[in-house]
Chain A
Amino acid sequence: MLARIGLEPGDVEFYAEQLSGILAHIDRLKELDTDAIPPTAQVVEVANTLREDVPRPGLSQDEALANAPAAVDGFFRVPSIQEEA
C-alpha cells in the first residue's frame, strides 16, 4: 500500500514466496548481539554541509516542465486528487 506499486492478483503469492526466502536469510542478523553497538547511517566524514545563502539560477519553468507527461498553464497536470462531493 505504502509503496504504491499496484499489486495485482497473483503478484502477492509470487512475491510472498521470494520475499520470505530473502527475509529468512536476513534473519541471521538476529544471531548478533548488537545492543551496545551504535548504528551507522552513513560513512561520510563531512556533516551539515551548507552553501552560502545566495540566489543562483535554477531551471526555467519551460525546462522544468519539458519532461512532464502532461502540463497546463505552467503547471504539472495530474488526475483529480480529491473525490467529488
Chain B
Amino acid sequence: MSELTELTIKETARLLRLRSFSAAELVTAHVEQIERVDHRVKAFLRFTPELWEKQADEADRRIARGDLGPLVGIPMAVKDVLCVRGVETTAGSQILKGFRPPYTGTAVARLFDAGAVMLGVTNCDEFAMGSSTENSGYFPTRNPWDLDRVPGGSSGGSAAAVAAGEAMIALGTDTGGSIRQPAALCGVVGMKPTYGRVSRYGLIAFASSLDQIGPFTRSVEDAAIVLEAMGGHDPLDATSSTRANDVLRDFDAGVKGMRIGVPREYNEVEGMEPAVKAAIEAAIKSLREAGAEIVDVGLPHTDYGLAAYYIIAPAECSSNLARFDGVRYGMSSQDALNITEAYERTRRKGFGTEVRRRVMLGTYALSSGYYDAYYLKAQKVRTLIKRDFDAAFEKCDAIIGATSPTVAFPIGSKTQDPLSMYLCDVLTLGGNLAGLPGISVPCGMTEQLLPVGLQVLAPQWREDVALRVARAYEVASGVKAEVAPLV
C-alpha cells in the first residue's frame, strides 16, 4: 500500500469519499511506512497510537456521515515544541523529559477538530535552536534523500517525516527559517505564515517576537489547506490577528502580470552554492515564461540581518528559557543544598551546548551596560531590514530567491563552528525579523540528487500572494515534492 503514503491531501480526500480506502487503512499504511524507514530516518521522537486509533475511527465515522472536510483522516506529525494534552512534549530537550502538557495548543487543536490524525511527535533542534536537527537532546534526524546528510532544522523531523512518506502533513515552527530551510533540504513544501496569522498558544516559546507555526506538505495547495484550518484569530494569543484568514484567494490565478522581485543581494550571500544558484535561475526563467515580470530589487541590509537576528533571538530566548528551573516541570536536581544550586544543576544537566550558548549570548546582550550597544542596536537594524522589505514591495508583489544557500550538508560538518551553522538561515531570517509570510517549494535536484528550495516572500498578510506564486511555479515547472525512495 505504499502509494497511500505518497498522496496529497486533495487526492486523499477524494479517494476517502470514494471509499477506495478508509482512514484506518490510511493510518495503517503510514504506520507501516514508519516501521519500514524510521529506524533509518529517525524523524520521530515518539508515537501516539492511542490518538491515531481514536482519531482514525472518528474520521471514518465523519466520512460515513458525509463530512467533506479536506483534513478528515489526514495523517499528521507534530514538532516536539507544540503542546498536546497528555502527550510527552519536550522541545527536543532533556530538561523537559517526561513533561505531559495539561492542554493542547490552538493550532494542533484546530487541526484535530478538522479531522487530522496524529501519528507522533517529531524530532527537532533543542528549543528549536539550530539548522540541522543535530542539536536535538535525543538523536540527530537524517535526510531521507541521503542518510549521511542533515535534514535541516530546526524542524528537521517534521520535514523528513513528510519527505519519507511517514506523514502526509507535519507541523513545524519557524523563528529564523526553521520550517523553510528543512523543507528546502528535504524537497518538500514548508510555509511560515505572517507573524500573528497562527496562534502561538501552546507553542513552547523560543523567541516570541519571531516564532510562527506552519505546515510541511507535499504540495502548495496542501500547505494552503492546513494554514486555512489552523490560522485566524485566537483570543488565547494576544499577538494573534483578527484579520480574515482568506489565504486561498486567487490561488490558481497564475503570475501573468505579476511583478516578482529578485533581490540582487541574495545571490551574493556567503556560501551560496553554484548548483543552488543555477536551480534558482531556472526557476526565475520558468516564472518569467509563465508571464511574470521579473524585477530587480535591493535589500541593502541583508548582510546585517544575521548579526541583528543573533542578538534579538538569543535575547528573547534567554528570557523565555528562564522558566526552566526544575520547580514546576521537567528535570530537577532536588538534592541540591539550596535553590540557587538546584537551578544551576538542573540547567547544567538539562540544556545542551547550543541552548547554553544562546542563553549566555542573550543574557550578555541584555545586561546593563551592553543593552544599548547590542540589543537596542539590533532592534534599530531590525527597523532598517523591515524598511528594506517595505521599499522592495513598492516595486514588486512578491520576492523570490533561494531558501538556503546550500543543499543538505553532511552530518557533523558544521557542528564545531556555530557561525557556519547560523549562516544557513541568512536568506530566511529576514522574513522573521520583518514578520513576512514565506514559503519554500521544491525547485529541482542537484546532480547529487539533493533537493533545492525556492523561497517566495510576500508582504505581511499576503499569504495568498506567496501561495499563488508558489502554485504558479509548481504548475509551470512541473516540479513536485516527491517521497524519497529510501531503498
Binding site for B on A (CB under 8 A): 2-8, 15, 18-19, 21-23, 25-32, 34, 37-46, 49, 51, 59, 63-64, 66-70, 76-81, 83
Chain B residues in 8 Å Cβ range of A77: 334
A31 to B300, CA, bound (A): 13
A72 to B347, CA, bound (A): 23
Chain A residues in 8 Å Cβ range of B422: 22
- Knowing A28-B307, A29-B381, A37-B383, the reply to whether A4 touches B343 (Cβ < 8 A) is yes
Total number of residue pairs linking A and B with CB closer than 8 Å: 164
Tell me how far the C-beta of A27 lies from the nearest C-beta in chain B, rounded to whole angstroms.
Answer: 8
- Knowing A38-B380, A81-B339, the reply to whether A43 touches B360 (Cβ < 8 A) is no
Chain A residues in 8 Å Cβ range of B327: 68-69, 76, 78
Q: Which of B30-38, B150-158, B371-379, B398-406 contacts A (4 or more CB under 8 A)?
A: B371-379
Closest-by-CB residue of B relative to A21 is B419
From A19, A67, A81, name the one whose CB has the most chain B CB atoms within 10 angstroms: A67
A46 to B419, CA, bound (A): 34
B434 touches A43 (CB 8 A): yes
B102 touches A34 (CB 8 A): no
Please, how many residues of chain B have a CB less than 8 angstroms from a CB on the other chain?
71
B239 touches A42 (CB 8 A): yes
Chain B residues in 8 Å Cβ range of A31: 304
Closest-by-CB residue of B relative to A69 is B332
B485 located at the interface, meaning its Cβ lies under 8 Å from any Cβ of chain A in the complex: no
Chain B residues in 8 Å Cβ range of A5: 344, 347-348, 351, 356, 359-360
Report B318-360 residues with CB < 8 Å from chain A CB.
318, 325-332, 334, 336-345, 347-348, 351, 356-357, 359-360
Task: List 29 A–B pairs whose Cβ atoms lie within 8 Å, in order of A's numbering.
Answer: A5-B351, A5-B356, A6-B345, A6-B347, A15-B356, A21-B418, A23-B361, A26-B307, A29-B307, A32-B384, A37-B380, A40-B380, A41-B209, A43-B195, A43-B386, A43-B434, A45-B460, A46-B241, A49-B238, A64-B328, A67-B100, A68-B328, A69-B327, A76-B327, A77-B334, A78-B342, A79-B341, A79-B342, A81-B339
